[in-house]
Structure 1
């Protein structure tokens, strides 16, 4: 061996290997599935690369993964003749785990490991599952097209270091030799290996072969169907096969929630097999997260992370697209401008939305599981996909004043069915939390009138509502904005009495306007309140508080919001303060009212200490 050196894993990798060996995996046989899946991915990459360079096959186009045992030396070997790895690739792939996710993974584990033993595939660490059963692992690999003397040797015991060196390797591909731990002899039994392969890898298109010695002759026996599952008829595929195929392509140990498998013929001919996961991946909230679709053209693998065929708000979807019409030399840039690709994107998007709509109608409990995992991502839809807003709005779920629960399980259809007579708008409020929304003084009028209000507290809600104009002919209305309908609702009871009170307090309103000056847009009396002395509102055409917070959160400058200051003329404190002659005392009370209103609206004050001093002074 040449250029031999011993390197250390990243510090986080050391922790992860220790966790995996001692705590994480409850099902040891998973390691074989992971190794076969990696070989299958390597085969796909070789087929794609060979489209433009047939010499990569090196006169051997029949791809396989082979498994053999050596009971004498207690070793299990998994080898393939696929694309292989260069020295740099070995260091990157086997010396680094989940470049952006390892710390998050370790932090997510916490002390309760049993809850997280399904997460391994989400962090790209499948190869390291070998250390569950092996005390030492040797990898020998050569990248397709590289000279024989540029093979790579890698060895590790999973304890913090690995050795790497250059070797000669006559055949392309990767060979992995596992030196099994004591009490792991079950994985040296061919019948045990057959059962594992049949359970996890029967569906992959790569031939999986087991070594048999008969009459001193070596025979490699294929033990899987080696036919792409999505090309088979749905009637031939069992539920367990769909589930295992999902786990193969997603590296997710949890079963999918639902799936759809369709062979479409017509102007375009394509096959889709799409899965909705049952659990969100750790990086789902990252909008740059890799998409889970794999593209094949005429059964030939083209690429992973196919963003062109699914919108970002459906990035949790996993699956396969196999299209006969796209050119084989297609590139990512061509796909973006290709008419067939755009048509395919529209078709797939509608297929997923219809699938979710069907789930919502037929299985409320299962849809609620979906919404809890992916609802916040679906809420990005109205801003990204206006053409499907009707479909998306049917999928949305909310918490409202009707349910008295923070669980988002109310559809817009449910809300509309409970609208009171004469109500022609869907009312909502956005806040930093469910508790803040539920306790907002803006709700007092609606609680009094028995009008249901959507309580929105997810970080995407304000952004979503700016793109949702109406549902079922009913427009959306924020209750924190000034609105003629809200004024009408507030004044319809005891109208004459309210007019008399307002007239008596005209001078009081003028004094407040002079005191607050240009700090507010307007000062007026309101009958929207019952228990609160004052609130602030914005005009219907102005930016809301929550939208301003969103802009600030992403580093954008926003103009100062000028609020309308609305005082409750029926509140005892307001009535008493209106009669105060002393200017200083009057100013202190109004500043407290204004501070309370701002605190309820924004959650913060510019000078909380001054507010507290005034409050203590008045106490």
Structure 2
């Protein structure tokens, strides 16, 4: 080239400063440059595709709309070429010589003014091109405009001093960007490294991407297609590729919405919970895209934390991003997006549970911790999530799960509470004295056997307006029930209660005859404001120095033979009666899971056996 054809430009001081910001501060991950350059190439060809419908004279009209990427490890270069609209000399100065000017943005504005807006435009910010200087010491842009009278030109810059424009020759329509890589970034001339980046960030770009002649983006962006147009084989292939999974998902959600925000989503529910198998905490795996370009493969805060087991894609053209596309700028809009998705996911689970209860129960047993975490932490979705909780109860077969809606369907007319009991296993809960009165009255009791259940239920509080009530607490009102056997008289019962209170002292707050018992002599109830056994164990697990003095309310069964014998013994053999009273209290505390130290219990039991043996 002769010097007469060389046109040089210097960057102004403020432009240099802004370019320095783009190169050194704007992007936190340098590999993002390839995504930006591919997105620009895609935009350029999207514009060309639009022009093909309005313009007759397009240079090299027969060229296929493809993106060609070439690596050269020996020359330490990376080349990205497209057959888009290309640029004229004036457009080179305007688009590449002026930071923060976006040809794409100007094109979008023109399309909107004319009533059109190509849906697959990606660039909005005008600085994506300059990310190339993060990894390149020199960038050459070879270009030929789509216009028939266009020039063959090459724009060259080191990203610091300025740029030059000179004539080129024998160029095809479009843009070819050649990056001369910095020594510390020569990895980007490696074919395997570049292939990984294409698959990670740009695999679903709407045009073929060829790397050294081989097409890379084979899997379609299925989330943008109608469900009726996608086969099960395509879903399976997409799941394997995008979600790195090799088994079939348990459930799938594929939907599109225009309001209140434009959304296309394809979300999969895996069939196994890796956290349950002892793996580390699952990271969010529903990737966020904007018009088929990856924004964040693991966006935190987009969906509620408990949904971290989901996999798939959410694509929204409405997301306003910061200037580097790396972080989401409008948190209110992002929250709206997350809210819409989370509600659709929960609705999907609700429909699947209704359509195939057995399948959902099997799934729930693996993933129940996530749903319970959601009830405790995801307040906006708490009521909807409560419908998905499953449990065993006093009216379900061993191993069969039920839900709160089923419980209420079986409840007695006028029943305004849902009764539950927390314990280590169904077997222990079934034999608990707490359940006796409820079984006798035909009242169903929900069995919760997970360590976190009590906290979850406390967070929930009620379901469908019915209060959740623990039957291990005092203050639960029950209707009178006709019981078998003669009972102590009112005066005898009152005297026995006074005797027990005097001898048991501060270990009990009250002693009274109650309606709770059928087969057991005595029961220990946690005061309304008291700490339950499960909560005490949790506190101890968190703090080994935790201490809590156990005080309970006692209810006695005035029909039980042991209680009637104790009423006689308190006058005839007070010492024996005192031993029996203390032993009955310890027995009740053991049933309640509230006895921390059984040494005195064993000594007392030995003394009672000695007396029994004479």
TM beyond 0.5: yes
Q: Are 1:406 and 1:434, in contact at CA under 8 Å, matched by a contact in 2?
A: no
Query: Partner of 2:420 in structure 1?
Result: 428
Q: Are 1:272 and 1:322, in contact at CA under 8 Å, matched by a contact in 2?
A: yes
DSSP 3-state at the match of 1:309: coil
Query: Partner of 2:580 in structure 1?
Result: 589
DSSP 3-state at the match of 2:387: helix
1:235 and 2:237 equivalent? no
1:617 and 2:610 equivalent? no
Q: Are 1:47 and 1:300, in contact at CA under 8 Å, matched by a contact in 2?
A: no
Deviation, 1:229, is 3.0
DSSP 3-state at the match of 1:392: helix
1:552 and 2:536 equivalent? no
Q: Are 1:359 and 1:367, in contact at CA under 8 Å, matched by a contact in 2?
A: yes
Deviation, 1:220, is 2.9
Instruction: Give the structure with higher Rg (CA).
Output: 2
Q: Residue deviations 1:262-287, cap 9 Å, x none? A: 22213421221111111111368889
Give matches, 1:21-60, under 5 Å.
Answer: 48-49=32-33
**TM-score scaled by structure 2?**
0.64
Q: Is 299-308 or 556-565 further displaced after alignment?
A: 556-565
Deviation, 1:350, is 0.5
1:520 and 2:511 equivalent? no
DSSP 3-state at the match of 1:395: coil
Give matches, 1:167-186, under 5 Å.
Answer: 172=188, 174=190
Q: Are 1:271 and 1:322, in contact at CA under 8 Å, matched by a contact in 2?
A: yes
**Alignment counterpart, residue 347 of structure 1, candidates 315, 340, 343:** 340
CA 1:594 to 1:172, structure 2 compared with 1: closer, same or farther past 3 Å? same
Deviation, 1:505, is 2.3
CA 1:520 to 1:501, structure 2 compared with 1: closer, same or farther past 3 Å? same
Query: Partner of 2:360 in structure 1?
Result: 367
CA 1:576 to 1:385, structure 2 compared with 1: closer, same or farther past 3 Å? same
Give matches, 1:246-265, under 5 Å.
Answer: 246-265=239-258
Deviation, 1:247, is 2.6
DSSP 3-state at the match of 2:527: coil
Query: Partner of 2:403 in structure 1?
Result: 411
Q: Are 2:321 and 2:329, in contact at CA under 8 Å, matched by a contact in 1?
A: no
CA 1:268 to 1:284, structure 2 compared with 1: closer, same or farther past 3 Å? farther
Q: What CA distance in whole angstroms lies between the structure 2 residues aligned with 1:506 and 1:249?
A: 72
DSSP 3-state at the match of 1:266: coil
Q: What CA distance in whole angstroms lies between the structure 2 residues aligned with 1:589 and 1:336?
A: 70
CA 1:308 to 1:210, structure 2 compared with 1: closer, same or farther past 3 Å? closer
Query: Partner of 1:180 in structure 2?
Result: none
Deviation, 1:289, is 3.3
Q: What are the ranges of 5 or more consecutive residues in structure 2 without an aligned counterpart?
A: 1-28, 42-65, 72-76, 80-132, 139-182, 194-198, 610-614
Give matches, 1:440-589, under 5 Å.
Answer: 440-486=432-478, 489=479, 491-493=480-482, 501-555=489-543, 557=546, 559-580=548-569, 581-589=572-580
Q: Are 1:308 and 1:336, in contact at CA under 8 Å, matched by a contact in 2?
A: no
DSSP 3-state at the match of 2:607: helix
Aligned residues: 447
Deviation, 1:595, is 1.0
Query: Partner of 1:106 in structure 2?
Result: none
DSSP 3-state at the match of 2:549: coil
Query: Partner of 1:607 in structure 2?
Result: 597
CA 1:607 to 1:546, structure 2 compared with 1: closer, same or farther past 3 Å? closer
Q: What CA distance in whole angstroms lies between the structure 2 residues aligned with 1:593 and 1:420?
A: 34
Query: Partner of 2:148 in structure 1?
Result: none
DSSP 3-state at the match of 2:564: helix
CA 1:589 to 1:332, structure 2 compared with 1: closer, same or farther past 3 Å? farther
Q: Residue deviations 1:87-120, cap 9 Å, x none? A: xxxxxxxxxxxxxxxxxxxxxxxxxxxxxxxxxx
Query: Partner of 1:245 in structure 2?
Result: 238
Q: What CA distance in whole angstroms lies between the structure 2 residues aligned with 1:331 and 1:445?
A: 66
CA 1:330 to 1:617, structure 2 compared with 1: closer, same or farther past 3 Å? farther
Deviation, 1:537, is 0.6
Q: What CA distance in whole angstroms lies between the structure 2 residues aligned with 1:235 and 1:306?
A: 29
RMSD of equivalent CA atoms: 4.1
DSSP 3-state at the match of 1:261: strand
Q: Residue deviations 1:464-500, cap 9 Å, x none? A: 11122322332221111122523xx3x34269976x6
